[in-house]
Amino acid sequence: MSTTTLPSSTRRRFLARAATAAVLATALAACGSGGGSAPAAGGSGGGDKLTMGFAQVGAESGWRTANTKSIQESAAKAGVDLKFSDAQQKQENQIKAIRSYIQQKVDIIAFSPVVETGWDAVLLEAKRANIPVILTDRAIDSPDTSLYKTFLGSDFTVEGKKAGEWLVQKYQGKTDPVAIVELQGTTGAAPAIDRKEGFAEATKVAPNLKVVASQTGDFTRSGGKQVMEAFLKSQPKIDVVYAHNDDMALGAIEAIEAAGKVPGKDITIISVDAVKDGMTALAAGKINYIVECNPLLGPQLMDLAKKVKAGQEVPKRVLTEETTFDQAKAAEALPSRQY
Ligand code: GZL
């Protein structure tokens, strides 16, 4: 087992590249043969109805609601017997749920780890019970990649880079100092760590772009509002808000308007997710740019679960497709937006 101690986001980036090749290879191989290892043991064994235990993070944001809906609807459509739990953003609740799925001898365990670390022990218990695990949405930071079959989700570092690159472009050729405040996601969560890293990476080419304050709003609207109220009091000048998700951006908008300023004009706002409420604010000019993070992971999750149960090889990393939106593109996309 590889015990490289690369930083988690570097390791995930490596896995992302390796898996892109694997995805292509797997697609080609699947056309040619039904090869693969023996069917996954554990769980209800040979029964044709697949039972999945899913431990969800919580219901903290519009993104999470859309993600839960996608998983539940896809399970019903795929004939998967879904056991579902909401951890209210607490790791101990997710661990409890995973343990109960192990006792119930489900066929597959899938979950979105609320934070990157602290999973090895419970995932080792699943491994010893011969129950395969699929990571969705967020990754874990562990050198033991045998603890899960595959990780299906976005590249959050790329999302942060896209946000930073747009800002660098906006201030191209300008040298005046630009004061940025950052609303971070949940402390220790992969999207929070990587979106911060990617944004910093992209903006370091423009030394006048400075993050003058950065604090977690825990991915919630109320958290974003409270932190933005504090920033408005403590910072002499704020030119830009970089929010790790739309819910915190929408909370920041409430605080900015209460302070008598015009969001999207007096203060530029960049966000991530592109859920309907965020896109509505973007189309209305209160947000300036949103990097999409696709929550509709249900269909791919069910497909991967069936392949794992049948003993087929699956790529270690499956990346989700996503784009970016400016105000004009948001107005066009809104009418047909699924989430
Ligand atoms: C990202 C996901 C994040 C969203 C937030 O894949 O884990 O968690 O960006 C959500 O809206 O709360």
159 lines ligand 1 (CB under 6 A): no
What would be the CATH architecture of the domain defined by 51-154+296-321? 3-Layer(aba) Sandwich (3.40)
Intervals of the chain under pLDDT 50:
1-7, 14, 17-18, 20-39, 41, 45-46
Top mutation candidate among 60, 293, 297 for ligand 1, by most atoms within 8 Å of CB: 293
CA–centroid distance, 332 to ligand 1, in Å, is 24
What is the pLDDT, as a whole number, of residue 12?
Answer: 53
Domain definitions of the chain by residue range: 51-154+296-321, 156-293
What is the pLDDT, as a whole number, of residue 294?
Answer: 96
156-293: CATH superfamily: Response regulator (3.40.50.2300)
CA–centroid distance, 63 to ligand 1, in Å, is 6
What is the pLDDT, as a whole number, of residue 48?
Answer: 73
Query: Could you tell me the pTM of the whole model?
Result: 0.88
Q: What is the 3-state secondary structure (H, E, C) of the chain?
A: CCCCCCCHHHHHHHHHHHHHHHHHHHHHHHHHCCCCCCCCCCCCCCCCCCEEEEEECCCCCHHHHHHHHHHHHHHHHHCCEEEEEECCCCHHHHHHHHHHHHHCCCCEEEECCCCCCCCHHHHHHHHHCCCCEEEECCCCCCCCHHHCCEEEECCHHHHHHHHHHHHHHHCCCCCCCEEEEEEECCCCCHHHHHHHHHHHHHHCCCCCEEEEEEEECCCCHHHHHHHHHHHHHHCCCCCEEEECCHHHHHHHHHHHHHCCCCECCCEEEEEEECCHHHHHHHHCCCCCEEEECCCCCHHHHHHHHHHHHCCCCCCCEEECCCCEECHHHHHHHHHHCCC
What is the pLDDT, as a whole number, of residue 338?
Answer: 84
89 lines ligand 1 (CB under 6 A): no
Q: Residues 10-53: pLDDT tens digits?
A: 555 545 544 544 444 333 333 333 333 444 545 554 457 899 99
61 lines ligand 1 (CB under 6 A): yes
- The yes-or-no answer to whether 51-154+296-321 and 156-293 have a common fold is yes
